[in-house]
Structure 1
Amino acid sequence: VALVTLQELLMQSDFITLHIPLSQATRNLIGRAELELMKPTARIINCARGGVVDEEAVAAALQDGTLAGAAFDVFTEEPPSGSPLLTSPNSVLTPHLGASTLEAQTNVAIDVADQVIAVLRGEMAKYAVNAPHASAELFPYIQMSTTVGSFAGQLMDGQIQKVNVCYAGDLQQASCDPLKAGVISGILRNTTEERVNLVNAELIARQRGLRVAEETSQDCGAYGNLITVTLETDRGKTTVAGTVRDHLTRIVRINDFFMDISLTERHFLICDHIDGPGLVGAIGTTLGQASINISSMHLSRLEPRGKALFVMALDEPLGDAEKNIIRAIPNIHTVRTVNL
């Protein structure tokens, strides 16, 4: 593709199509003088906006044989009653209804159905007109921000007062509005009966008086991108960090503990405890007796036989009875579940 001036384009082209809006700068962009530069064998097509091409000048050129043909589906006045093009030779005139063809309507129906399914899954609606604008490249990070917010919201204790969000690495240059909406949406889904999504998340947060602070950082450790969410409540703070790797969300930090959790499952058991022998076995026995399968386990500790955190990914959700049994195991401090 070579960029040329309008004059060069008119002189060299066999077919000229217009794809521009109508404005003061583009009105009658193609008039008598421009048509005289074109080859007598050239054809012009206007499917953009009426008024971009001088219809009287095109009609005259067709009559004189200095223009081989014209095709229009937009006109200066619509419907085009009285347009000189209606009686011009070598012209094809149609209504501007490309979006109303059977094929176009079928594709629109498919797009609508796909978007409804995406939203019901909690994913981003690509073409929402009242949601924060996001490019397709940002979608995995929006999903990650929502998941991190949901994780933190289910782990916190007390009444939430403030949300701190830090965007690090590649994300510090991104449009952060949809990421913030994702975080808020993930948090609020666990605290309200209202249906919360990326469109209304910030509005609901404002109505509840929820303060949201944002910052960016170059420091993202060994990760290319990182979102860290800290929830401040009347009982303390809860911090969860996540990243996207290979298009998948991974939780890499919970409070003071660092790990690498692939979120391929929906149910998680998270326990603060004192590191020691026999504890994991006792929990495994409890889950086995309840016919709850463990798909993976992650352990992080500050020091041997010191404060530690383990996360078990489960195939089935954990019931209250099993939680109470696990709480009674010596050296277990907290028992929480996260369901995504």
Structure 2
Amino acid sequence: MEARCAKFYEFGNPQNVIKVEHTSIQKPLSGEVLVRMTTRPINPSDLLPIRGAYSHRIPLPAIPGYEGVGIVEEVGPFGSKDLIGKRVLPLRGEGTWQEYVRTSAELAIVIPDSIEDHVAAQLYINPLTAWLICTESLALKPDDVLVVNACGSAIGRIFTQLSKILGFKLIAVTRNDTYTAELLKLGADLVIDTSRTALTDAVMEWTSGRGANAAIDSVGGNAGSELAFCVQPTGILLTIGLLSGQSVNWAKISKATKVHVQMFHLRHWNQRASVQTWHETFDRLLGFIADHSLKLMLPHSHYDLRDVQEAITVAETSSSNRGKVFLSS
């Protein structure tokens, strides 16, 4: 059997290097399942590897896509047939931007019928990252203060909702007032629009001069550097992205502020998490979705896999920040 996949043979601009082609579908091996994909989001974290951000550990050719949901069509030899027909997240296996994905049966996350495809498809990268940062990397306690920049982003909204779930205080940093009302409704204690307000002064005033316990930088450049000066000495600044494309001399910033600068990599947690921990963590996130304490991005638009270049173009426009672009089958 043959099916479509999106594939790149060299690193570069995704619109230029991604090709849609047909590939032979391999039968699942023992311990594997074959999943027919139905919905996959387009995330910045999907596009960065295509551009070559992690070229040292991505063999070519490669199929992009870290997230998505699909239906189990087949199980490997001696596998339980109970999974056939179930909707699952086929994670930590092959790239999801293809019609069929083989993945580990024991790592497949079964999705309840009550959760829509577009929600399930977003459950991995951003929610898992945000949850692990808040509960493990930063171990935030009730009334700790966390500052998050680019807070109008998908993951920024999740940090904001987790502040209400876990009880810490969140200062949301944005570049304009577009998302102020929404972020306050989601749980932010303060929203700072840096086009109107000096960031450090506002944080210090709100914290009575103490500074925040921790900060999360998704931007880098001047925005990331300035964020470090909002954190109290011996506090933590966690860097998780580089939206500005401008790197930061974190050693210099750390020395000047006495703030501990760290990086978070989801793959490191994946490598050490047991199968039981993997499932327990997703069960927790699914519980938040079920009781509506955690809401993910609504769809902006859906595109067929064959139209992946057009979908990427839309996903990278600023207007799509109000919703996710999906590759759907």
Same-fold call, TM > 0.5?
Answer: no
TM-score band, normalised by shorter chain: under 0.3
TM-score (norm 1): 0.26
Name the structure, 1 or 2, with higher relative contact order (CA <8 Å, separation 6+): 2
TM-score (norm 2): 0.26
